[in-house]
Amino acid sequence: MNTGHVSGEGRSPGEDEEKHLGVQAMMNKTTAITIATLAGLSVGAPYASAQGQWNRKVEAVRVLPTPGGPAGAFEVQPFFSVEALDILTETDLGTDLLLTGGSTNQQQYLFDILFEPPGPQPFGCNCPPPLKCLVLEGFAIGCVNDWLICDPPTPFNLMTGDVVEVLLRPTPGALPDSDSSDDSLSIAFNGDPIFWDRRVVDVSATPSPAGDSFFDIDVEIGVQANYDGPLNLAMELDVLVEGVLVQTVPVPQLDLPLLWNQCAGACGSPCVTQLDGSPVPGLCVLDNGDGVCKCEYSIITPIPAVPVDPGDEIVVILRPAPGALPELPGFPEENDEGSTRPGACPADFDGDGFVGAADLAQLLGAWNSANPIFDLNNDGFVGAPDLAFLLGSWGACFPV
C-alpha cells in the first residue's frame, strides 16, 4: 500500500482563520513531529459505500511530565490514523478530536481532511491511481492512501486514578465511520508516564564467512514502554558504510501488548518484562521520560555479509517501520543511531599487527569471564567460540 505521512495540528473550535496554523506553517514549527508512513497499516474495518472505503482510528496516546513543570503537570499527545480506499469522488473526512483527562481537563481539535480521487483535481496533486490527493487544512499534502496524524502535546494536570480519553468524531458535513469501535481510547493513569521508546544499544561486527571483504553485523536494540495496550513498534535499520546506504533491514515487529514494570533494583540490575503476557528477561536502564529506572527488552538483529573493508565505518540508523508509531519528543535522538569501525584484527589484543601467541595468552587469561575485550563473538562470555575466532585470525592482520 502506498502511503503518506503528516505532522498535523488541529484547531480549536471558533478560532479565527488568521490564527489558524495551516500545514505550511506547521511544517516549520519546531514542535512538529515527523510521523512514519503507514504502508501496510491495518486500521480496522473501513466504512464501505459506492464512494469507497474509509476509517478513522485512535492509534495511541502518550503522557509525559512537562519539562521543568510542577508536580502533576503532564503533556498529553494523541495519535490517530485515517484510511481511504477506492474513492471515486471528493471525500470529506474532517475529524473532531476530543481529548479529556480526569474531571477538569478537556481539549477539542478540528482537522479539515479531504481526499480527492486520482487524476487532475482542483488542488493539483494529479495522483496516479489508486492514490488519492490528501488535502489537510486547505493545503495539498501529496498522493497517499492513508496517514497518521497527531497534535502537539496538550498540557494537562493529572492525578493518579484519572482516565485519559481520546474520541474521534466526524466534523459537521464529513462522512461518518460505519464502525466506531476504534474511534475511542481510554487509558487509566497510574501516576507513571505513558510512553514508548526505541534505541540502539550496541553495534558490533565480526568477519563473515562470506569472504574477506564482508562482515556480519549484530545490532542490539532496546525497547522500553509503559503502555497497557497494543502498540505497533515495528522498526527498520538503515545500514550505511562510509556514509553510503547499502541496505535497509526490518526488525521483528512489536505490535503486542507491552507492559514494562518499575525496577525494584538499581539501574543495571536484571528485571523481568512482559511481552504478550509472558515474562521476558530485561535490564533496568534509566528512562529519559521521568528519570526513573525502567525495564528494557533487548532485540538482537543480525545483518549478515555486509560488504565492508577493514577500517570502514558502519553506521546503523533506527527508525519506525511504515505503519508503526513514531518516536516521541523528549528522548535523545542520538539514541536512534549506532556505529562501529571493524578493526583490521579484533583478536590482535596487543596491537602489534599480528594475531599470535601473545594474543592467545591474553584470551586464555580471560577464560570463563565476561571481559568484553576478549568476548569476540559478543555472547557475554569468553569461551570456545572466541578461541576459534582467534585461531581463525592467526597471522598478519588485514591492512587498514
Is 344-400 in the same CATH topology as 195-343? no
The burial class, CB within 10 Å (0-12 / 13-18 / 19+), for 137 is buried
Three-class SS state of 47: strand
Count the Cβ atoms, other than its own, within 10 Å of residue 171. 16
Q: Which residues of 70-107 are buried (b: 16+ CB within 10 A; e: fewer)?
A: eeeebbbbbbbbbbbbbbeebbebbbbbebbbbeebeb
Helix (H) or strand (E) holding 272: strand 270-275
Q: Whole-angstrom Cα distance, residue 400 to residue 391?
A: 20
pLDDT for 206 equals: 83
How far out from the chain centre does Cα 327 lie? 5
Q: Which residues of 36-55 are buried (b: 16+ CB within 10 A; e: fewer)?
A: bbbbebebbebbeeebbbbb
In the block, cell 515487529 appears at 253
pLDDT for 225 equals: 78
Among residues 56, 23, 63, 62, the alpha carbon closest in space to that of 41 is found at 56
| Series of mean pLDDT values for 10-residue runs along the chain (400 residues) | 39 38 24 27 43 85 88 91 85 94 90 88 82 87 82 88 95 88 91 85 86 87 80 88 92 59 71 68 69 76 87 87 78 68 75 85 92 81 90 72
Looking at this protein, which amino acid is placed at residue 101? Answer: G
Which cell is 141 given? 499534502
Tell me the backbone φ, ψ of residue 362, rounded to 5 degrees.
-65, -40
Among residues 59, 67, 62, 113, the alpha carbon closest in space to that of 91 is found at 113
The burial class, CB within 10 Å (0-12 / 13-18 / 19+), for 161 is exposed
In the block, cell 532496546 appears at 222
Strand partners, 157: 73
Rg from Cα positions in the chain: 25
Per CATH, the number for 195-343 is 2.60.40.10
Instruction: Name the CATH architecture for the domain at 17-188.
Output: Sandwich (2.60)
Q: Whole-angstrom Cα distance, residue 123 to residue 105?
A: 37
Structural domain boundaries in the chain: 17-188, 195-343, 344-400
State whether CATH 3.30.70.260 applies to domain 344-400: no
Looking at this protein, which amino acid is placed at residue 396? Answer: A
Q: Whole-angstrom Cα distance, residue 136 to residue 8?
A: 8
Q: Whole-angstrom Cα distance, residue 333 to residue 339?
A: 14
Count the Cβ atoms, other than its own, within 10 Å of residue 192. 17
- pTM of the entire predicted model: 0.68
Residue-wise DSSP of 218-231: EEEEEEEEEEEEE-
Among residues 220, 257, 215, 245, the alpha carbon closest in space to that of 235 is found at 220
Among residues 134, 161, 163, the alpha carbon closest in space to that of 61 is found at 163
CB-side neighbour CA atoms (13 Å) of 26: 23
Q: Whole-angstrom Cα distance, residue 312 to residue 243?
A: 10
Q: Where are the alpha helices (DSSP H) in 28-135?
A: none
